Structure 1
């Protein structure tokens, strides 16, 4: 089934509104729900009709795009548009799909729109995993792109403060995304993933060797905190003789 994304353009610059509207018209899977010159107008439109995606300017008087985005429910996705590249990281902190730095051309626009298409295709597909079952994959922001991570391939996850590194089988380098360890832990199925240390979450199904209260992944040794050791052993069940 073809995906149609209802999008709303929010920008206080008339030229930007017209340009993005012309780009939306060229993009088959985008359907224009309207265009607004402020976040307050956008609220009125969104109260009257369903909106899936916002092309949202960051710098606007009264209520900025970042401030407005924090009020949205999780079903509405955001692609920020801004004349200032330094706002890109701020945009990702509020879970934006992407950002476009003005002036941007149609090729740049459609690359960002395709990220939205990927996101909605995964979430709306009739073949996706039902809500009452654990998800088999997740989409994470890695730099300026969205990357799909198959949970079965994850070996372990390591904390880097406000970022995490996701180590997967068959991948030479980890996927690095801006997310706290607590947020990552909440996204993972608790029967398959276990936080064995404040800095490490492991995929229980990938654990093959435990040595001296450390999990061994090749040349990497992950400590098991004493405070969680008993619960971790229970989760492992009879797979190991401890």
Structure 2
């Protein structure tokens, strides 16, 4: 499980007058380690009063609501906070971005798309809090590597395994036929990974524990690829894999 290592989590609220939609967005928020759900509202006016008395960093806001629409509500706010619109209607997108929202999500919102939005909010939050204690890289949901003259964002959950080649590593990604090649040794990239999700199993290999299909004493299988298990790595791997 990912641990939160920033000075504080992103405090957020959700506003939607549909109970089922509000429950879904609340459940998604609770899955993200760096988000802290403070309160949910089915009424924008109640949320407005709450915001006058409490500090909130991020708001998930429906648009088509009774009494007060999301755009009307946003224009009434007296202090800036990050906003993600969650709506079944796409015609408000231009107006939303004119209001400097972080993202615009169309219902039903796939979790992968929700994750993209909150990562965007997280990056903005870090920029605003750049003078505070920085996030420990290994605890992020993603990290960046340099490859082919560009910075590439890699999500931990997409990594199958990593192979070391002297001063280079090949990173094998789920549903991607060609690995990513970057100038980095295995020890350096190991320091960027979430310790609980990955394990060094050989002098030349690191594997994602939840991508292992099967293993024997001397080898394991990840996505149809046999990977050797080094003798000096075996004990640590077995302990870690069984705990996982």
TM-score scaled to structure 2, two decimals? 0.50
Does residue 59 of the first structure (1) align with residue 28 of the second (2)?
no
Higher RCO, 1 vs 2 (CA within 8 Å, ≥6 residues apart): 2
Does residue 24 of the first structure (1) align with residue 29 of the second (2)?
yes
2:204 corresponding residue in structure 1: none
CA offsets 1:185-229 (integer angstroms, 9 cap, x no match): xxxxxxxxxxxxxxxxxxxxxxxxxxxxxxxxxxxxxxxxxxxxx
Distance 1:73 1:108 in 2: 29
Q: Tell me by how many angstroms 1:44 deviates.
A: 2.3
1:41 to 35, 41, 46: 46
Query: Structure 1: any 5+ residue segments left out of the alignment?
Result: 129-242
Q: Tell me by how many angstroms 1:75 deviates.
A: 3.0
Q: Secondary structure at the match of 1:68?
A: helix
2:19 corresponding residue in structure 1: 14
Q: Tell me by how many angstroms 1:5 deviates.
A: 0.7
2:190 corresponding residue in structure 1: none
Distance 1:97 1:90 in 2: 13
Query: Structure 2: any 5+ residue segments left out of the alignment?
Result: 134-244
1:110 to 98, 109, 115: 115
List aligned pairs for 1:49-128, cutoff 5 A. Answer: 49-126=54-131
Q: Tell me by how many angstroms 1:127 deviates.
A: 6.4
Q: Tell me by how many angstroms 1:84 deviates.
A: 0.7
Q: 1:44 to 1:73 in 2, by over 3 A?
A: closer
TM-score scaled to structure 1, two decimals? 0.50
Distance 1:76 1:94 in 2: 11
2:221 corresponding residue in structure 1: none
CA offsets 1:97-150 (integer angstroms, 9 cap, x no match): 11100001111111111111011100012169xxxxxxxxxxxxxxxxxxxxxx
Distance 2:78 2:16 in 1: 20
Q: Tell me by how many angstroms 1:48 deviates.
A: 3.0
Q: Across the two proteins, how many residue pairs are aligned to each other?
A: 128
Does residue 4 of the first structure (1) align with residue 1 of the second (2)?
no
Cα root mean square deviation, aligned: 1.6
CA offsets 1:140-164 (integer angstroms, 9 cap, x no match): xxxxxxxxxxxxxxxxxxxxxxxxx
